[in-house]
Amino acid sequence: MKKKNYKGRIIGLAIIALVTANAFLIYFDEDHEKVDRKSYVNEWSQAITYDLFETLDTEGVFASQESEEVYFSQEVGAFQEFLVEENQSVSEGDDLYTYEVQNYAQQESNLEGEIALLKEEINAIEDYINEIENYEVPEPESDNTSSFFNNSDDTSDSSEPAQYVETEFQKQSKLAEQEAELTKKEAMLEMAEDQLDQLQEEGQTITVTSSFSGTITDISEELNAPLLTLKSTNLQIEGKFNEDERKLVEEDMAARIEVEDLNLELEGTLSSIHSFPEEVEVHRSSYYPFEVSIDESEEQLLPGYHADVDIVTAEALGAVTVMEDLLLTEKNLYAWVMNSEGRLERRAVTTGINEEGLIEVTEGLQEGEWLAYQPKDEFRRQAPFITPIKLRDLDFQDIIDVDEDTLTTYGLLGLLAR
């Protein structure tokens, strides 16, 4: 007689009972709801406000901001001697060279004519400066902001604030330009008057003085033109844009300058961009020269030093910013965001400037919102989430110092939660 296998029967019945019980539990669940699927979030990142900049990286070289050429005509007299040397620094009014007048009356007449002409030019510049200073830029609500500084007949958009700011800038720029020209003419007048005084008081020998402050960079011993070349100690950056770069930049854009060898970082402005390339050839790329003015120069900088230049082509100040890795794309960009109900929400976003892994969010996100970061394949729409406790972020003392009422309340909630 075979021995019955009671143990196997018991195990089989237990398995059947377990499966049946689970089936009944699922069927008779009071809410007839499916089991919630949860998202596992290991890392979070918060949206912040940040200043972002879009830049065009290029290179440049330091050069003198201004130069002045001094001439001598042998028709006015016989050259005697130079009173300066190459690489010598001179100031306005310093002696440059001397010559002996051959025709006293003619030279006196020439100097008097030059002085009269310079005075007329100075008066004209002063009148123009007064006219600029007295011109009041109409407020944005007015409809006439372009008539004085440009020839545009289109005033349909002149009430815009941007037009007002542009016109005010044009006014200040034109004023600075004319004041610089006035200073130059006054220096030339002083030099001519000084030569006339020398001629009338001392006779045949005249000493020519400088109307410019800078460094003597070239002397023509053969008396070729120009006789002397002076360059200012004020420096600027000079460089070239290729055709693609030229389309992205405009004058008055901010610039960042870095001189790596000297560990220097400077701020500047794209002050000038040439509208015409250096050379025009069918089978060669065109390059457009540019100049960057420097806000504050450094003593250790010299003409010829090279620098890296970043032109700021766009900026977003105080922008809502996240790490680029937080944004995903299928057809459109989106992010997984913790909503006010504490669930994961897949939200479409619109972005702007991208700078070194940080990206501006122009629509779809607010400062302070939390975004799920890793692991991305565990994220689900409108799902509750679980996230590990980061012990390194906890203050043990805060855990110990929890008051008794709080501990009791949340302890009971935990026990009663479904």
pLDDT at residue 324 greater than cutoff 70:
yes
Q: What is the pLDDT of residue 399?
A: 60
pLDDT, one tens digit per residue, over 358-413 is 999 999 888 988 888 766 666 666 666 656 666 665 665 566 666 767 666 666 65
Query: Residue 1 has what pLDDT?
Result: 46
Q: What is the pLDDT of residues 251-269, one digit of tens each?
A: 999 999 999 989 999 999 9
Superfamily of domain 56-62+234-312: Efflux pump adaptor protein, beta barrel domain (2.40.30.170)
Q: What is the pLDDT of residue 417?
A: 47
Higher pLDDT, 151 or 350: 350
Q: Identify the residue with better confidence: 204 or 65.
A: 65
Please report the pLDDT score of residue 158 as a whole number. 42
Q: Do domains 39-53+316-393 and 56-62+234-312 have the same CATH topology?
A: no
214 beta partners: 90
| Predicted local distance difference test score (pLDDT) of residue 152 | 46
The confidence band for 155, taking pLDDT boundaries of 50, 70 and 90, is very low
pLDDT, residue 139, reads: 73
- The per-residue pLDDT for 418 is 44
Q: What is the pLDDT of residue 85?
A: 93
Question: Is the pLDDT assigned to residue 46 strictly greater than 90?
Answer: no
Judged against a pLDDT cut of 60, whether residue 35 lies above it is answered with: no
CATH code for residues 39-53+316-393: 2.40.420.20
pTM of the model: 0.60
Predicted local confidence at residue 410, as pLDDT: 61
Residue 316: CB partners within 8 Å, gap ≥ 6? 51, 52, 53, 352, 353, 360
Is 70 exceeded by the pLDDT of residue 281?
yes
pLDDT score recorded for residue 325: 80
Residue 282 above 50 pLDDT? yes
pLDDT of residue 370: 86
pLDDT at 342: 74
Share the mean pLDDT of the chain: 80
For 386-399, write each residue's pLDDT tens digit.
Answer: 566 666 656 655 66
Q: What is the pLDDT of residue 38?
A: 62
Domain spans of the chain, in order of start: 39-53+316-393, 56-62+234-312, 73-229
When pLDDT is averaged across residues 232-260 and rounded to a whole number, the result is: 93
pLDDT at 395: 62
pLDDT tens digits, 159-206: 456 677 777 777 887 888 888 888 888 888 888 888 788 777 776 788
